[in-house]
Amino acid sequence: MFEKKIKKVLLIEDDPAMLKILQSHFPGENTEFSIAILPDEGIRKVGESLPDLVILDMMLPGKSGLEILNTIRANSKTKKIPVLVLSIVSEPNTIAKAKKLGIIDYIIKGTISLDELEKRIKDALQ
Amino acid sequence: MINKNKQKKPLPNHKPEEDKKFLKGNIKHLEPLLASIREAIIITNKNGKILLANPATELITGVLPGDLVGKNISNAISFECTKINPGWFLKEALSGSRVVKLPEECFIVGRDETKTPVMAIGAPLYSPEGEYEGVVFTVHDLIEEVRARNREYEFLSYISHQIRQPLALFRWSIEAMLREKEKLDPRHEDMLHDLYSSSNRFKGFINDLIDISRLQIGKIKFNITEVDIRKIVERAVNETKTIAITHNVTVIQFPEAEPGGFFFVRGDSDRLYDVFLNLITNAILYNRPDGTVTINAKFENEEAIGYLALKGHGGENISEYFQSVPEQKIEKKSFLLVSIVDTGLGIPEEQQNKAFGSFFRGDNVVQKGISGTGLGLFIVKIIVESLGGKIFFQSKENVGTTFYIVFPIV
């Protein structure tokens, strides 16, 4: 009960400014962020560190978020890791595909407030 | 070539000798010309039996002209439209009364199920004696136009999406700064608030652009159910409560309707909500203080609606709209007419014909410094028409505007 478990969050995102804002304003002392800028780096880090939550962008250099999600889900070691998508893509098709692969939430960048974003990331970490 | 086919096979159906006479007298010598025209040209008799089809017809239908000849056009060529029932087109054209145009977003479905977007016109063909003999159908392949338009909207969609990333950063950064108010100079805090509200408008604009590009490419799939317009309006009025209070405008819902009555139409409830939210918000924002917005609905027949539509803007082609509504629905009082009446600024008369265009803003509204993207009505019209409805309005400057929306009833 007194033991505070540090939650590991992996951000797979290629925009440095976006990474900065996500790291500096989110869930506080019990969270440890790590970063992956490239898709393959992201997939590798998911497998190595088995984070409590992956925050995944949909448009990354060379591979789409859906492909990354697919790879994470295909690996028995990582297939149950919660993934939250944070993307500019609002195409219903993409959202449906992501949901089918099992995600905890899909957030469209720029459509919600910082408060709401924080709340949803915290919820996803529960 | 086509002619040979015809001579070998006697034309089926009735009065073949009359058709032959007609062909020989009127069309035969035009065949070389018809063969060179790259638009599909199909000539039928009064009953719709195909007498001649030029070679270009094959490119669109996938059927050899010789195989079309002798068949009835309604069986031989399969039209499909996203917004309307295409059956009326052939029927109306074959009535011989006028030139009929197939509306936008229609396709010819080929034998291999491929859909070719087309523009088609049916025009009556008269004998030298002035007698109605048949119909000339001209079918233009729109595939290149559609591709070009889709490229345009895909580009628009791409750009709009790309803008979301920096926009999200701006907004979240401003919000983060405003959280630490105590560290901010009051002037800077003020600026940040201004920046944030501008970014709100910008966000709305980008969302509108994304919506438009998706509606135009046809990527939005409508979720059609039976929808009670009354409920939708209630929801939209509820959402606009705060701005109605701020602008001191009273919103009155269905004063003439029976309490508890329903106004069911077939539609997509989320999209219809967007439509009413948009129109009611406009009616409040562009109103005068102490003004009213009244939303009414009633069942009406074609005649009454046609009369209103022709007096207003956007309703010019109402008779084509009525014809395009599936036939079983055309009977007395078979349309729901919803009106949204405001007592506001009105749309300047000289601008009324542009009101449904993209980026339209009334000069009087702009002068008053009321902000907006000019995309609202444009989106509303696309949605209403995509759902098989019709929208038009009447407006007088400084008196008010009434928007009418027509839906075929369930």
- In the prediction, which pLDDT does B399 show? 95
Q: What does DSSP assign to residue B329? A: G
- In the prediction, which pLDDT does B401 show? 96
Residues in chain B with CB shorter than 8 Å from the CB of A116 are none
Beta-carbon separation of B221 and A89 below 8 A: no
- Decide which of B196 and B19 is more confident: B196
How many angstroms separate the CA of residue B165 from the nearest CA in chain A? 6
Q: Which whole number is the average pLDDT over B339-356? A: 94
- Decide which of B401 and B330 is more confident: B401
Residues in chain A with CB shorter than 8 Å from the CB of B198 are none
- In the prediction, which pLDDT does B339 show? 96
- Decide which of B27 and B96 is more confident: B96
Residue B243 near chain A (CB below 8 Å): no
- In the prediction, which pLDDT does B10 show? 43
pLDDT band for position B3 (cuts 50, 70, 90): very low
Give the separation between CA B266 and CA B384, rounded to whole angstroms.
Answer: 11
Non-local CB neighbours of B281 within 8 Å, separated by 6+ positions: B240, B243, B376
Question: Which of B14-23, B295-304, B332-341 has the lowest average pLDDT?
Answer: B14-23
- In the prediction, which pLDDT does A75 show? 93
For domain A15-125, which architecture applies? 3-Layer(aba) Sandwich (3.40)
Least CB-CB distance to A15: which of B165, B173, B203? B165
How many angstroms separate the CA of residue B402 from the nearest CA in chain A? 32
Least CB-CB distance to B165: which of A88, A93, A114? A88
Q: Residues 153..172 of B with a Cβ closer than 8 Å to A: which?
A: 161-162, 164-165, 167-169, 171-172
What H or E segment, with its residue span, contains residue A59?
Answer: strand A59-60
Residues in chain B with CB shorter than 8 Å from the CB of A110 are 164-165, 167-168, 171, 203, 206
Beta-carbon separation of A115 and B175 below 8 A: yes
Beta-carbon separation of A21 and B169 below 8 A: yes
The token pair that represents B384 in the structure block: 């209403």
Does the structure show a pLDDT above 80 at A27?
no
Beta-carbon separation of A109 and B165 below 8 A: yes
Nearest chain A residue (CA) to B163: A88
Q: Which whole number is the average pLDDT over B329-335? A: 63
- In the prediction, which pLDDT does B20 show? 67
Beta-carbon separation of B203 and A110 below 8 A: yes
Beta-carbon separation of A110 and B219 below 8 A: no
ipTM of the assembly?
Answer: 0.86
Question: Which of A44-48, A52-56, A108-112, B396-400 has the lowest average pLDDT?
Answer: A108-112
Beta-carbon separation of B206 and A110 below 8 A: yes
Give me the percent of chain B exceeding a pLDDT of 90: 44
Beta-carbon separation of B169 and A114 below 8 A: no
Beta-carbon separation of B169 and A111 below 8 A: no
- Which domains, and CATH codes, for chain B? 16-141 (3.30.450.20), 146-216 (1.10.287), 224-408 (3.30.565.10)
Beta-carbon separation of A110 and B176 below 8 A: no
- In the prediction, which pLDDT does B1 show? 41
Non-local CB neighbours of B84 within 8 Å, separated by 6+ positions: B103, B324, B325, B388
Beta-carbon separation of B176 and A92 below 8 A: no
Give the separation between CA A72 and CA A12, rounded to whole angstroms.
Answer: 12
What H or E segment, with its residue span, contains residue B267?
Answer: strand B264-267
Backbone Cα Rg of chain A: 14
Residues in chain A with CB shorter than 8 Å from the CB of B221 are 92
Contact A45, A68 (CB under 8 A): no
Residues in chain B with CB shorter than 8 Å from the CB of A89 are 161
Q: Residues 69..98 of A with a Cβ closer than 8 Å to B: which?
A: 88-93
How many angstroms separate the CA of residue A20 from the nearest CA in chain B? 10
Q: Which of A13, A19, A64, A88 has the highest number of chain B CBs within 10 A, making it the mutation to test binding with B?
A: A88
Q: What is the pLDDT of residues B92-143, one digit of tens each?
A: 899 988 888 887 778 999 878 888 999 999 999 888 788 898 999 999 999 8
Does the structure show a pLDDT above 50 at B82?
yes
**CA nearest to B125, candidates B116, B133, B115:** B133
Contact B204, B373 (CB under 8 A): yes
Give the separation between CA B132 and CA B80, rounded to whole angstroms.
Answer: 27
Give the separation between CA B293 and CA B338, rounded to whole angstroms.
Answer: 13
Residue B114 near chain A (CB below 8 Å): no
Q: What is the pLDDT of residues B175-224, one digit of tens each?
A: 989 988 899 999 999 999 999 988 888 888 888 888 888 887 777 778 88
Nearest chain B residue (CA) to A90: B161
Q: Which of B158, B159, B161, B219 has the highest number of chain A CBs within 10 A, making it the mutation to test binding with A?
A: B161
Pairs of CB atoms within 8 A across A/B: 50
How many angstroms separate the CA of residue A3 from the nearest CA in chain B? 30
In B68-196, the DSSP E strands lie at: 78-81, 100-101, 106-109, 115-126, 132-141
- In the prediction, which pLDDT does B235 show? 93
Pairing of strands B264-267, A53-56: unpaired
- In the prediction, which pLDDT does B15 show? 60
Give the separation between CA A109 and CA B163, rounded to whole angstroms.
Answer: 10
Q: Which one-letter amino acid corresponds to residue A3?
A: E
**CA nearest to B253, candidates B232, B227, B274:** B232
Beta-carbon separation of B203 and A111 below 8 A: yes
Q: Where are the domains of chain A?
A: 15-125
Q: Which whole number is the average pLDDT over A91-120? A: 90
Q: Which whole number is the average pLDDT over A89-117? A: 90
Q: Give strand pairing partners of B265.
A: B227, B409
Residue A25 near chain B (CB below 8 Å): yes
Q: What does DSSP assign to residue B49? A: B
Whole-number average pLDDT of chain B: 86
Does the structure show a pLDDT above 90 at B232?
yes
Pairing of strands B390-396, B292-300: unpaired
pLDDT band for position A3 (cuts 50, 70, 90): low
- In the prediction, which pLDDT does B193 show? 92
Does the structure show a pLDDT above 50 at B6?
no
pLDDT band for position B392 (cuts 50, 70, 90): very high
